[in-house]
Every structure is written in C-alpha cells, then in structure tokens.
Amino acid sequence: MIEVKDLTKAFGERTAVDHVSFVVNKGEILGFLGPNGAGKTTTMRILTGFLPATSGTARVAGFDVFNDSLEVRKRIGYLPENPPLYMDMTVSAYLEFVARIKNVPAENRKARINDAMEKTNIQDKRHELIKRLSRGYKQRVGLAQALVHDPEVIILDEPTVGLDPKQIIEVRHLIKSLAGSHTIILSTHILPEVSMTCDRVVIINRGRIAAIDTPANLTTQLKGGQHVRVVAEADQNAVCAAIRELPGVRRVSGEPEGGNGLVAVTVEAEAGQDVRSQIAAKVVGKGWPLYELRGVSLSLEDIFLELTTEDSEHASSVAN
Amino acid sequence: MKGMYAVYRKEMGHYFVSPVAYIIVAVFLILTAYFFNRLLALIIQQSFEASLESIQGGGAPPFDVPSLVMRNFFGIVSTLLLFLTPMLTMSVYAEERRRGTMELLMTSPVTDLQIVLGKFFASFTLLVIMLFPTALGFAYILHHSEPSAPWRVLGSEYLGVLLLGGALLALGSFFSSMTESQLIAAMLTFGAILLLWVVDFGSQAASTALSSALDYLSVFRHYDDFTRGVIDTSNLIFYLSFIVLGIFLTVRSVDSMRWRRA
C-alpha cells in the first residue's frame, strides 16, 4: 500500500530524513518510533504531499506522492502534530468543511460526519465552538477530521498527545479497530503505545532507520540472550572472573551495590541458554553469600535506547 | 471546482461568524453615509450659488447635481478602500499559517490555485456585500432625481470600484501569504497600496519614459475614467491583469511554503 524507497529530505545543511526505505502492507498498522527530531514528522509530511522529498520515491496506493499528489491526497487522512482546527467553527461545521474539501459526495456527507464523530466519541460536543473544547477533545476532533472521508491510508502524527490515560486507551482501541480496512502509520515516542497497537515498528533516529520488525521480534532479537542480575557479597573482580568462566556466558559486568561489600553483576547469556542455575551453583560453591539472582527482561524501551545511543556513538566515532 | 467552493464557503463562514465582517462593513457604511451627506450639502450649496449667479449674469451652465455627487462619492470610496482592504485580507493566509491549518488545506485533494481562488472570491464577495447598500441608495436617487443622471454612469462607477477593490484584494492576499503575522501583512499591503497611489506623484510635470511608466502603474489613475462614466478597455485590462498577477503570485507563494518549511 505504501512503498518508500531511499527517501531523503535535507533542509539546507541538515538532513532530516536520510535514505529511508520501508513498505507498509494493506491493513497493517506501522509504528514510527523515535526521539523528538528523529525525522518522523518529516517522513509523514512527505507521504501526505505537504513537503517534497529531496531524493528518493514514495508511493501510496501505487501513486507517486509528488507526481500524483492529488490522487495520493484523496486517499489519505492525516492528523498533523498540531491538529489543524479552525477555532471559530463548531465541531460539526468543521467536519462538514473537511468532508467537502476531501470530496465526500453530498449524499454521504452527513453519514460520514456522524460516523467520524461516533468513532472518536465527540457527538455530544458537535455544536460547541472548537476554541471552547479541552485539549483532549481538540485532539479527538483532529482525529475525526482524519477519518471523515473514510480514507484508505491514515497517517497520525502522535495521535495520543494531550489525552488522559482513559482517552489514550480509547484511541488505541479505535486505531486497532481501524486496521484491516485501513492502512495506518502512526508516530510516537511512547514505547508501550507501539507494542500495544502496531503490527510492525520502524525505529528511526537522526533520520535513519535503526530497525524494522514486529514488536515481539524486536524484543527477542535484540535482547539476544537472557540477562541475569546477580547480587552477592564478594570481591567484584573475583565474582566477575568466576562467572565469566561458565559456559554460555557472553558478557559480564559488575559494580558495587549499596556500599556494604555487595556487588551487583549483570550477566548476558548466549541466545537460548539458561545460565541461572549454573551461576547460583558457582557463587554458592565459592562460599559467597548470594543475595539476589533474577532474570532481567529487556523492554522495548531498553532496545530503543540501545539502538538510538549505539547509533549516535557510531555517528560520533565517524565524525572523529 | 468543488474544492474551491469548499474553501470559499469556509472563508465566508469565517468572515461572518467572527465580528470581522460586520465591523468592516459597518465602519465602511457609516463613513460613506457621512461623506455622502456632507458632499450633498456642499454640492447643493454650490448649485444654489451657481443658479443665483445665472439669474444675475445669465448663461451659467446647468448644474448636474447627481453626477457630481456620484463622481466625488466614488473618489472617496477609493480612499476608504485604501484603508479597509488591508484589513479584509490580512488574515486570509497569515492566520492559517500561524494556526497550522494551512497543512490541512495543502494535504487535501485541492490544488493551490483552488485554495487561492476560493479565498479571493470570498474576500471579493465581502467587498460586494459592503458596497451593495450604497448601490441601493444611488438607485433610489437616480430613480427620483430630475433630470436623472444616466444609469450607465452608475454602472461604470461600480465596475470601477469593483475592479479597483479586486486588484487591492489580490495584492493584500499576496502579502498575507508571505507571513504568519496579520499585522505585517496589513502593514505591507497598506504601504504597497499607498505607494501605488502616489507613484505618479510629480510625474505629470516631466514627460520621460519613466514618468509615463510610473503614471501607468498608479492604481487610482485608471480609476478616474470609471468615475466619469468612461469604460476604457486599457483600464479594464490594467485591473484584470493586476488581479491575475496577484493571484498568480499568491499561488507561487503558497507553493513555496512546501519548499521552505523546516
């Protein structure tokens, strides 16, 4: 449904998007994950035809976003970072305007507007002026605006910003329910959002793609082996050396814990190896009091940090 | 076409749900009513004095009060447009840019030209609405005055004021599309109109190519003929090309937002 190939966008000296390529299949939800300023918004703006790319191509439903911009725009519903609302309009007048400008035929207009309001749960505010609405309602009107013409592709730039926790859950449910009949790209810097809603994740940093995969695969793949945390009372170097000898252990690092002679050791095992019982046996066998031993599951957050910081280290080493 | 109509409807709604349109129209009508009143009093007095002279000396030309009133009145209307058009156009793009709604328009299936034309026709409609009550008044006067001034003079005067207004609105829209600040848009428009008004200042004396070119550029010079009831094709072409140029530049300016926005 969406094919992006070698997309690059430079603003003067600064390259906001650097040779980004990905494909989104019909009915899929793709999450764009990255720190602020990573190039998420720019990529989305190129897809919606708001910005032209410096080089590379992007196609939506087979149409090039630059050469067939109008065809692409007919098929896209877009919620920018700041919802594009006319403060002096009522909610229903605003949605009517958007329906008209998005070419919704007159006979469907009313039904489409009601449907969008129902999905975003704003029917009770339909006669309110937009400027009188709370931040959360404004965000939902923005979301309704992106749905009103029943587009094939929906692009949402940080759709849950400004919502309270209950509304965030509602919006996530809404997005999930839209998948299948719609192809969705959403961006966020909130990690749980991605693992909860998206079929696939693009981790983007400094304009480059750091990883593309399903949230589950990303977690297992990048986690590599099991991580184990051991706290014992002993000499730090001795413990590390002892554990390093064990088969299946890839990496060991230790640091003083608390200051009363305890050492915390983080052990990274080879993929598919469970080293916990061996570590316990070893530590106890050496006569060191064992205080704690547990598996640490790497969250998407850790992966994200790992990927994005590795990338910046790489970039700075290249610069040096 | 549909997209243009959608933009037009939205702009009209914007003018009339906010107090902007009502205030501008009210200010215009109050000022024109006041000037009309003073003009009429002045010209009636002059015609009275002229008829006194003709009784004493005889042979004074007949005094055409309706035509004189109309001609002077439309001179005043053109001056009022200098002040009012910047206010009509200052927000059309500047506000959309500031609020981020330009992003909605520019990612909708409408061309830049449709956006620009929709907005231009909306501001032009407001100009027509603003002028309409004065036309009713003049129709009443012409109907009852004896001898009546020719209707086509009134027609040419309104054609002139609409063309002049359209040109100023096209210019104002262009300046509004270049900035996010309404104040800057209004100031630039006001300055540009003023410059185009006085650009022929002092050029009558000299007769170089430059002075005749400056003479030609003066937007109000082309307006004079219309107030006398003369519809000159060169004046028509001047205003129409001015409007087309303004719309073209605005389309380019809207398009350029895509290229420079970081």
Instruction: Please list every residue in chain B whose beta carbon sits closer than 8 Å to the beta carbon of residue A48.
Output: 107
Domain ranges of chain B: 2-260
Residue of A96, A101, A128, A131 to mutate when probing chain B, most B C-beta within 10 A: A101
Q: Which CATH number fits domain A224-296: 3.30.70.260, 2.60.110.10, 3.40.50.2300, 3.20.20.140?
A: 3.30.70.260
Q: Retrieve residue A282's tokens.
A: 């070893």
Say which residue the tokens 């262009």 belong to. B174
User: Which residues numbered 103-142 in B keep a CB inside 8 Å of some CB on A?
Assistant: 103-111
Tens of pLDDT, residue by residue, chain A (320 residues)? 899 999 999 888 888 888 999 999 999 999 988 887 888 899 999 999 899 999 999 999 989 998 999 999 999 999 998 899 999 899 999 999 999 999 999 999 999 999 999 988 899 999 999 999 988 889 999 999 999 999 999 999 988 887 888 888 888 888 988 888 899 999 987 777 887 888 898 888 888 888 888 877 776 666 566 778 888 888 888 888 888 888 888 888 888 877 777 888 888 877 767 788 888 888 888 888 888 888 776 666 666 776 666 544 444 444 43
Q: Mean per-residue pLDDT for B226-251?
A: 92
Contacts of B20 in chain A (CB under 8 A): none
Q: Where are the alpha helices (DSSP H) in B90-232?
A: 94-99, 101-106, 112-144, 151-176, 182-198, 209-217, 221-227
Do A103 and B5 count as a contact with CB atoms less than 8 A apart? no
Chain A residues whose beta carbon lies within 8 Å of the beta carbon of residue B14: 86, 88-89
Is pLDDT above 60 for B261? no
CA-CA distance, B119 to B88, in Å (whole number)? 11
Enumerate the residues of chain A whose CB falls inside 8 A of the CB of residue B3: 101, 103
C-alpha B16/C-alpha A76 separation (Å) is 31
The reported pLDDT for the residue numbered A303 is: 67
pLDDT computed for residue A319 by the predictor:
40
**pLDDT of the residue at B26:** 94
pLDDT tens digit sequence for B242-260:
999 999 999 999 999 888 7
pLDDT value of position B262? 46
List chain A domain ranges. 2-221, 224-296
Q: Please say whether the beta carbons of A202 and A31 come within 8 A.
A: yes
Give the ipTM.
0.85
Specify the range with the lowest mean pLDDT, choosing from B68-77, B155-164, B199-208: B199-208
Instruction: With CB atoms and an 8 Å threshold, state whether B14 touches A85.
Output: no
Give the whole-angstrom CA distance, residue B161 versus residue B246.
Answer: 17
Instruction: Report pTM.
Output: 0.82
Tell me the HSE value of B116 on the side-chain side, using a 13 A CA sphere.
25
Average pLDDT over residues B162-166: 94
Query: Using CA atoms in the order A93, A97, A99, A100, what is the torsion angle rounded to 10 degrees?
Result: 130
Q: What local confidence, expressed as pLDDT, does residue A299 receive?
A: 63
Report pLDDT for A205: 84
Residues A225 and A270: beta-carbon distance below 8 Å: yes
Q: What is the pLDDT of residue A220?
A: 67
Contact A88 B18 (CB under 8 A): yes
Round to whole Å and give the CA distance between A140 and A60. Answer: 25
Q: For residue range B38-78, what is the model confidence (pLDDT) as tens digits?
A: 988 888 888 888 777 777 766 556 667 777 888 888 889 99
Tell me, what's the pLDDT at A315? Answer: 43
* Least confident interval from A129-133, A287-291, B212-216, B224-228: B212-216
DSSP B239: H
Q: What is the CATH number of domain A2-221?
A: 3.40.50.300
pLDDT given at position B28: 94
Distance from the A193 Cα atom to the nearest Cα atom in chain B, whole angstroms = 25
Inter-chain touch B13–A145, beta carbons under 8 Å: no
The verdict on a CB contact (< 8 Å) between A52 and B258 is yes
Contacting residues of A for B103, CB less than 8 Å apart = 45, 50, 80, 84
Q: Indicate the residue of A52, A73, A82 with minimum beta-carbon distance to B107.
A: A73
